[in-house]
Copies of this chain bind each other. A is one copy, B any other.
């Protein structure tokens, strides 16, 4: 049995893919750099990555958020699995014992919300030194047939279910920014109303809610489970390694104000 604390690291689709150009355009240099940074992690680690250009354009093309489309569901799922293969291959090359875990294979939703998730395999992976690597995906939905499930929704669910200690959201920005472009250091129930107007949806193709969706999910999690999350820039070298070594960077989202 392994008693090290559990950390969940989200890597945004914008960090590891190019969302501005074609479908299926991976940023291999960033994927390899990030894999190297992750290789130094000491805690039990779960990685969740976004789909970026390996999922959002496909989901949009087939109108997956509006209707059930079996072919579109398969095309989108196969595409994001391909990105997951690249990420896990890079992690394995860096010495991380990464195993792809596809939400399509272990999560069921109801009306777009996680209804059930199989966790036993993930717990045994963590106990044996493996790093499960999940991702935004198309999953089966008891009401809708299939639905698009964002990595941002998987992270808080997993964190609560596994009793994680820290969450890192590696995005393409320095955190949540105010209107002068400065990072807001802390978001909590007391100041959320003041900072809410700074938080926009994603500027590019994103079917799953963008920054506001992330912040709302993480605020809810901090209130129910007391877990603090950090949104930081994973595009800057060293930030993921720093976070994994215990550094608190970017915007902290917590139950009470972060006095740090």
Chain A contact residues, CB within 8 Å of chain B: 68, 70-71, 74, 77-78, 81, 85, 88-89, 92, 97-102, 104-108, 115-116, 118, 120-121, 124-125, 128-130, 139-142, 145-146
Contacts and interface: CB of A to CB of B under 8 A. Distances in A.
A105 B71 CA distance: 22
Contact of A118 (B74, B106, B124): B106
B70 A130 contact: yes
Nearest to A68: B128
26 contacts: A70-B97, A70-B129, A70-B130, A74-B97, A74-B99, A78-B88, A81-B85, A81-B100, A99-B104, A100-B105, A101-B105, A102-B102, A106-B106, A107-B121, A108-B120, A108-B121, A108-B124, A116-B120, A118-B118, A120-B140, A121-B140, A124-B140, A124-B142, A124-B145, A125-B140, A128-B145
A120 B97 CA distance: 28
Contacts of A106: 105-106, 118, 121
Nearest to A146: B128
Nearest to A142: B124
A62 B60 CA distance: 43
Contacts of A100: 81, 105
A101 to B, nearest CB: 5
Nearest to A102: B105
B116 A139 contact: no
A55 to B, nearest CB: 15
Interface majority SS on A: helix, strand, loop or mixed?
A: mixed
Contacts of A139: 121
Contacts of A141: 124
Given A70-B97, A97-B70, A146-B128, A104 B77 contact: no
Contacts of A107: 121
A102 B81 CA distance: 12
> Lowest 10 A-B CB distances belong to which pairs?
A118-B118, A105-B105, A124-B140, A108-B120, A121-B140, A128-B145, A70-B97, A105-B106, A106-B106, A108-B121
Nearest to A101: B105
B124 A97 contact: no
A77 B101 CA distance: 12
Given A105-B106, A121-B140, 15 more contacts: A74-B98, A74-B130, A77-B99, A78-B89, A99-B104, A105-B105, A106-B106, A107-B121, A108-B121, A108-B124, A116-B120, A120-B140, A124-B142, A128-B140, A128-B146
